[in-house]
């Protein structure tokens, strides 16, 4: 027993240096509550309501916010304000920070940053008096062309789940209710039947998938969000197995409220309700925006004639009110003023995330970082280097606009109050360091572009070529190429400039094949969807003030068809690939992508040693907080259920050392190979830690495998089951087998 206690103590202590979560938790002095306490308070609140008042709360009403739950003056209830987005306060409000988007924070692979970004976002929602923040967006990047991939966290459920957890906690720690979305299987926007395309689309796509795939891929991040204690979940516009998400008894009542033990409310994506009785009996609690008349006041008659039980209405209203008590919105919540300036110094964390999520893809002969006293002659090409022609408030794409992209479009877009494009930041750097800069942002002006190659100055020049790819809600991408033939621009410059560096400003997957192997393309940085500090963040990386350490959150295929999944243009979207998505699919069919999931270079190098796998004995601390999450931070509002799924079972440690010449970081990635019984892909991501190290410094990294991490969904038993046999553990720096650094195993 003593040995076990020491081990646990060590697990805790050995962790603290690498976790270092900056936790200004509860500076607000909020009294958070448990779900049990909040539900009890909600019950006594609704006891004073009439049936009319209860029904009134179940649908949105008109108001200042994107969604509004009405006030009840009689009982001193001031209503709720609900607002987009997952990456800052959106819907066109003023004085709001345009944060690096979901796909970009995921690429940091840094839980500390996941949390700090969410705290900063939560502060802005709270500061403006918003009660519900619509996020996290946790649909899986199943289709490379999905227009909303930039809002989410990539193609892997574990990575997405960790993001979901820390995002939810960061938001709710500010007293704001997080809203996980879009539940569920909203992996394309074509025929999703949402508000953006009108409701007159006769085809609504149905995501058809089996039970194992549902649990292990698409439900996984929602489960993490529920464990974090999320107060609200938004059902999606599409169908699952031919039944609409917002009236799907199986997904809502069975999976979410039943199996996951979810105690919060379900609200519709805009116009997601299509009738009254079916959605309500299938678990829907709130109709948004509420103007369609399916729910709200009309429910009084349905209760009176017995077609909806009174108990269901009470359950709905308890679920609507409980989250309010859960995160302490009854205590000094700010009044609503959407244009209130609440940005504070959030640009600082935004810049940190922006550079932490950029990914160094190619760096021949260490061309990067540039030396600001040597590489002073800089030519800049491409529309994506500079500002847009259309102003910063464009939420939808217009081919005349161009310009650097800070986020994608649609309801997830946050109107920037300012934004620093790369050209502006390079100009500033140039002033300080006496650069000679030339730029051409009209990328179709090949006459002028060609002329630059004959400049007197075109000698020992560094050519920076900026390319971009945009997408937005409501529309999926037509291909995986860049805007305005950026590929041709790269090739034209590379033909003439032997030090060409390409900067890729993209919403999600891109096909790089037309230019990536060009011998003059000596450097490539994936700049992602980096938010309004883009230019400064990039310059930090280009000149070595920041050592890049971001990692891909999807693979980049050589051929679009290699992904094996695509948008469906007919009614069915059959998820026939099952759990074989992205790297799991590439492994299965032995396909080599251009760059693997998890890949990204650094200016320094690392060594890995001393893999150790040890079993955690839970008998010793059965009555104490013991999950991986609980060991980090526990909140009263968490909801782990009683399943023990998040209890740690194994601790995996190794030692990582910086053996290069720069301070920098590596993401230690744990891939697991399951026994045959589990019928899993060759390897599955089940742990990661981003470690920052000084030159010559080494650290022990401790990764934890929870019960859920080593289980598979057994469709017969309808349970998570630990398989019997040998589990292989790989410590790697990407999903590429060639990047595996350490290997071990355990038997069960």
Ligand X SMILES: *[C@@H]1O[C@H](CO)[C@@H](O)[C@H](O)[C@H]1NC(C)=O
Catalog residues that contact ligand X under the rule CB under 6 A.
Answer: 7, 76, 208, 210-211, 214, 240-241, 249-251, 253-254, 258, 301-302, 305, 307, 366, 371, 373-374, 446-447, 450, 492, 495-496, 559, 561, 570, 572, 574, 603-605, 610, 612, 614, 660, 695-696
Nearest of 272, 462, 267 to residue 381 by alpha carbon: 462
User: 241 or 417, CB closer to ligand X?
Assistant: 241
User: 276 or 407, CB closer to ligand X?
Assistant: 276
The answer to whether the beta carbons of residues 130 and 333 sit under 8 Å apart is no
C-alpha 65/C-alpha 61 separation (Å) is 10
- Compute the least distance from the CB of residue 585 to ligand X, in Å: 14
- Compute the least distance from the CB of residue 417 to ligand X, in Å: 30
- Compute the least distance from the CB of residue 87 to ligand X, in Å: 29
Nearest of 228, 352, 348 to residue 690 by alpha carbon: 352
User: Is 269 noted as a catalytic residue in this protein?
Assistant: yes
- Compute the least distance from the CB of residue 22 to ligand X, in Å: 26
Q: Which residue out of 189, 269, 292, 582 is catalytically annotated?
A: 269
Q: Mapped to the 3 state alphabet, what secondary structure does 691-728 carry?
A: EEECCCCEEEEEEEEECCCCEEEECCCCEEEECCCEEE
- Compute the least distance from the CB of residue 490 to ligand X, in Å: 12
Q: What are phi and psi of 712, to 5 degrees?
A: -125, 160
User: 374 or 716, CB closer to ligand X?
Assistant: 374
User: 170 or 272, CB closer to ligand X?
Assistant: 272
- Count of H-run helices and E-run strands, the chain: 19, 25
C-alpha 562/C-alpha 585 separation (Å) is 9
Instruction: Report the chain's C-alpha Rg in angstroms.
Output: 25
CA angle 587, 141, 719 (to 5 degrees): 75
| Sign of the Cα pseudo-torsion (85, 90, 96, 100, in order) | positive
- Compute the least distance from the CB of residue 667 to ligand X, in Å: 16
User: 310 or 612, CB closer to ligand X?
Assistant: 612
User: 334 or 644, CB closer to ligand X?
Assistant: 334
CA angle 740, 741, 747 (to 5 degrees): 80
User: 644 or 744, CB closer to ligand X?
Assistant: 744
User: 253 or 417, CB closer to ligand X?
Assistant: 253
**Beta strands 684-693; 698-706: pairing state:** unpaired
- Compute the least distance from the CB of residue 664 to ligand X, in Å: 9
C-alpha 585/C-alpha 457 separation (Å) is 48
The H or E element containing residue 280 is: helix 277-281
CA angle 726, 728, 729 (to 5 degrees): 145
Q: Which residues contact 280 (CB under 8 A, 6 or more apart)?
A: 295, 299, 308, 312, 316
Nearest of 69, 77, 78 to residue 48 by alpha carbon: 77
**Tokens describing residue 359:** 């990914």
- Compute the least distance from the CB of residue 7 to ligand X, in Å: 5
Phi-psi sector, 209: left (phi>0), alpha (psi -120 to 50), beta:
beta
Residues known to be catalytic: 269
């Amino acid at each position: 027993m003593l040995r076990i206690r020491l081990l646990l103590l060590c697990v805790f202590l050995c962790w603290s240096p690498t976790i270092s979560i900056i936790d200004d938790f509860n500076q607000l002095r909020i009294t958070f509550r448990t779900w049990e306490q909040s539900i009890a308070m909600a019950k006594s609140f609704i006891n004073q309501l009439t049936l009319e008042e209860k029904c009134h709360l179940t649908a949105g009403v008109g108001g200042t916010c994107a969604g509004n739950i009405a006030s009840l003056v009689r009982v001193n209830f001031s209503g709720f304000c609900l607002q987009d987005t997952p990456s800052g306060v959106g819907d066109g409000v003023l004085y709001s920070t345009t944060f690096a988007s979901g796909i970009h924070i995921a690429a940091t692979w840094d839980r500390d940053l996941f949390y700090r970004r969410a705290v900063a976002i939560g502060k802005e929602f709270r500061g403006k008096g918003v009660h519900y923040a619509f996020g996290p967006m946790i649909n899986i990047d199943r289709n490379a062309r999905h227009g909303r991939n930039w809002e989410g966290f990539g193609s892997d459920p574990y990575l997405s789940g960790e993001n979901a957890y820390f995002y939810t906690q960061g938001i709710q720690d500010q007293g704001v209710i997080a809203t996980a979305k879009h539940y569920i299987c909203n992996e394309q926007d074509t025929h999703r039947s949402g508000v953006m395309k009108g409701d007159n689309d006769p085809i609504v796509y149905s995501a058809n998938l089996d039970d194992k795939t549902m649990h292990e891929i698409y439900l996984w991040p929602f489960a993490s969000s529920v464990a974090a204690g999320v107060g609200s979940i938004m059902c999606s516009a599409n169908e699952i197995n031919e039944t609409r998400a917002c009236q799907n008894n199986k997904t809502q009542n069975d999976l979410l409220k039943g199996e996951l033990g979810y105690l919060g409310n379900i609200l519709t994506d805009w116009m997601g309700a299509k009738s009254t009785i079916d959605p309500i009996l299938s678990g829907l609690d709130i109709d948004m925006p509420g103007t369609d008349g399916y729910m709200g006041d009309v429910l009084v008659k349905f209760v009176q004639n017995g077609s909806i039980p009174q108990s269901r209405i009470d359950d709905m209203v308890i679920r609507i009110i409980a989250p309010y008590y859960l995160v302490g919105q009854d205590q000094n919540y700010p009044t609503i003023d959407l244009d209130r300036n609440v940005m504070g110094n959030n640009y600082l964390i935004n810049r940190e995330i922006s550079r932490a999520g950029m990914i160094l893809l190619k760096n021949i002969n260490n061309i990067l970082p540039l030396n600001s006293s040597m590489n002073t002659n800089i030519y800049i090409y491409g529309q994506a280097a500079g500002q847009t022609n259309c102003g910063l408030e464009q939420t939808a794409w217009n081919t005349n606009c161009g310009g650097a992209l800070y986020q994608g479009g649609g309801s997830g877009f946050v109107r920037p109050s300012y934004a620093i494009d790369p050209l502006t930041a390079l100009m500033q750097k140039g002033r300080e360091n006496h650069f000679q800069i030339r730029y051409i942002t009209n990328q179709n002006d090949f006459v002028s572009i060609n002329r630059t190659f004959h400049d007197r100055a075109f000698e020992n020049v560094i050519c920076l070529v900026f390319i971009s790819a945009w997408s937005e809600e409501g529309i999926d991408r037509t291909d995986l190429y860049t805007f305005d033939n950026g590929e041709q621009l790269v090739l034209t410059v590379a033909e003439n400039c032997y030090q060409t560096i390409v900067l890729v400003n993209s919403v999600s997957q891109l096909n790089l094949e037309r230019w990536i192997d060009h011998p003059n393309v000596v450097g490539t940085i994936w700049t992602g969807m980096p938010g309004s500090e883009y230019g400064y963040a990039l310059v930090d990386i280009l000149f070595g003030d920041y050592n890049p350490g971001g990692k891909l959150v999807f693979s980049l295929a050589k051929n679009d068809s290699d992904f094996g999944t695509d948008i469906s243009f007919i009614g069915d979207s059959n998820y026939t690939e099952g759990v074989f998505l992205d790297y799991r699919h590439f492994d299965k069919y032995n396909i080599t992508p251009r760059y693997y999931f998890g890949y990204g270079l650094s200016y320094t190098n690392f060594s890995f040693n001393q893999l150790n796998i040890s079993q955690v004995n839970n008998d010793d601390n059965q009555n104490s907080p013991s999950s991986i999450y609980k060991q980090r931070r526990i909140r009263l509002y968490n909801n782990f259920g009683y399943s023990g799924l998040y209890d740690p079972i194994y601790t995996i440690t190794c030692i990582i050392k910086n053996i290069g010449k720069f301070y920098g970081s590596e993401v230690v990635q744990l891939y697991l190979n399951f026994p045959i019984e589990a019928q899993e892909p060759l390897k599955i991501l089940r742990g990661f830690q981003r470690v920052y190290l000084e030159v010559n410094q080494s650290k022990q990294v401790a990764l934890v495998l929870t019960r859920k991490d080593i289980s598979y969904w057994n469709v017969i038993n309808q349970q998570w089951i630990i398989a019997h046999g040998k589990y292989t553990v790989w410590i790697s720096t990407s999903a590429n087998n060639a990047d595996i650094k350490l290997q071990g195993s355990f038997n069960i």
